[in-house]
A and B are shown apart, each in its own frame.
Chain A
Amino acid sequence: MTGIVDQNYYEILEISPDAALQEIERAYRVNRSTYQPSGLATYSVFSDDENAHILERIEEAYTVLSDARARREYDARLRRAGVMLAADATVKTPALAPAATHADSSTSKPASKPESLELDDGYDPEDGVFEGSVLRRIRLSLGLELDEISAQTKIDGGFLISLETNCYRDLPAEVYVRGYLKQYARCLRLDPERVVDSYLTRMREDRSAE
């Protein structure tokens, strides 16, 4: 374990050095919430000053890592300091993570591997039916807010609420619902076709019963 002063920006945000911008933003939101003044997780561990200092480091980390050019420069500095970035092995986002030189791999120490900010315990519903409350539970398990899904998919928040509460009457025509569900399922890392088939079967039964 290293102190907050010695942790690099990736360690501070608990993300992999090849994290995409979306992951950086999510990790930033979670960390900012963790270290908010008088936050539940930190209140009995840190003084106000310590907490404020950690928050500053989180802001610093986000400012640099969310800017492609500043991040490239920072990665280069880390390499010069002997930190091996994950991108040195596999380049996921070439625009953000420059290819490795391999010159420093033998002596460099790897950046620590972060854990995922979600509960990876299999999200399939027990009875195989993807209805609204199941989708909501899965979203909560992933620690995702509705406004995050809305920002990512451009689907109106009201429609997302209607999807999750099975308020079929408030949803548009089926062709639109199909599109919404596909996007929503992708955000939840579910198979879009399975979700669409299951949800629409339930929706059609309900609509025809009316």
Chain B
Amino acid sequence: MRLTGTPSWLSARRDTSSSRGVQRGGPRPLPQVWAFGGGKGGIGKTFLAANLGATVALAGRRVVLADLDLGGGNLHTCLGVRTGSRVNLLDYLDHRVEELEKVAIETAIPGMRLILGALSHPGAAETTRGQRIEMMRQIRALQADVVILDLSAGTGRQTLDFFLAASVRFMVTTPEPTAIENMYQFLRAAYYRRLAHALSGSPVREVLRAAMDQRNERGIRTPGDLLSEVEKIDSQEAARFKRVISEMRPRLIVNQVRDSDEVKLGFSLRGVCRKHLGVDLDYVGYVNFDDSVWRSVKDRQLLVQAFPQSDGAMYIRRIVKKLLEEGR
């Protein structure tokens, strides 16, 4: 379906030759990597990854959507793609295909490719940290302007490592107590894992180990509490700690919003994170829930294509516009 009333930034012509492709006299710019995490399942991570990805592609950028939900990905279903015996992530993990670039298949959206999840053995695909580092190297080498990673629910190491390796980290939640509780758990787990990789001094690592237990005797409950403890031990490590924390800056999207109170929930979550957890959460937008969202999911279609004039599609375009303008 053609977009009517399309904003000018979204009508950009695809540039396949110069500015974002292979450049003369300089290295090819690395793609931005956007990851979608959030802790809970069923909150719309896959829906948002697919629709934000399609919006970026419709804006003229080359996109690769990668289904990294190794426990049972279904990004392809959001796009109406039948898998059959097509090449997928398991072919790469089992070394039947050496390059991730060759696993990316074309989709119906011009400029958007898809890396299918590990479909033949859902749940069996485990990766080592070494494999994940190599995968991220290959993800950054993909012929794309934006690579979008759809991650599993939960706080497993695979999910956290891909989330942390991304350049833009989306935290998705819905206005429900369970989703918000899981979001806080995910944030805490992501911060502690990132710090565990970044901090080297052994006394500091000891504090970090203690902090992993939420009922620890030192009373450390948040990344902010942890920073206060580290400051007492080692000022240089504390400075590194602060830098690591400030670089994280997860981007919050509240999905399935139904009224203005739920719009304001994003500000509340940002305030609580900043004032009490020491986490700088950037509230980038919300997506409402209405019949068009439900119908697009049910019909295995993209909202931004099937219902481009719906409120949900408009809110998704706003978020993409903001992110693309920021990345210029």
Q: CB within 8 Å of B: which residues of A?
A: 1, 4, 7, 11-12, 14, 30-31, 33-34, 39-46, 115, 117, 119, 121-122, 126-127, 137, 139-141, 143-145
Within 8 Å of chain A (Cβ to Cβ): is B318?
Answer: yes
Q: How far is the CB of A195 from chain B (nearest CB, A)?
A: 18
CB-CB nearest in chain A for B262: A40
The A/B interface has a contact count, at CB < 8 Å, of 89
B interface: dominant SS: helix
Establish whether residues A40 and B175, one from each chain, have CB atoms under 8 Å apart when the complex forms.
yes
Q: How would you classify the secondary structure of chain A's contact residues: helix, strand, loop or mixed? A: loop
Write the nearest CB–CB distance from B39 to chain A, whole angstroms: 11
The 4 closest A-B pairs by CB, nearest first: A127-B5, A41-B268, A34-B268, A1-B224
Tell me whether A145 and B272 are in contact (CB under 8 A).
Answer: no
A16 to B147: give the CA distance in the assembly, Å: 38
Residues of the B chain whose Cβ atoms lie less than 8 Å from the Cβ of A31: 271
* Contact of B267 (CB < 8 Å), options: A7, A12, A143, A145: A143
A141 near B263: Cβ-Cβ < 8 Å: yes
Are B267 and A117 neighbours in the complex by a CB distance under 8 Å?
Answer: yes
Our pick among B5, B272, B318 for the contact of A42 (Cβ within 8 Å) is: B272
CB–CB B263/A1 < 8 A: no
| Chain A proximity mask over B264-282: 1 for CB below 8 Å, otherwise 0 | 1111111110111110000
Docked pose: A202 CA to B237 CA in angstroms: 61
Cα–Cα distance between A119 and B260 once the two chains are bound (Å) = 13
B136 contacts chain A at the CB level, 8 A cutoff: no
The answer to whether A33 touches B264, judged by C-beta atoms less than 8 angstroms apart, is yes
Residues in chain A near residue B267, CB distance under 8 A: 30, 34, 117, 143
Between A and B, 14 residue pairs with Cβ closer than 8 Å are A1-B275, A4-B275, A4-B276, A14-B274, A14-B275, A40-B176, A41-B268, A46-B276, A115-B274, A119-B284, A121-B322, A126-B6, A126-B314, A127-B4
Instruction: Determine if A34 and B271 form an interchain contact, defined as CB atoms under 8 angstroms apart.
Output: yes
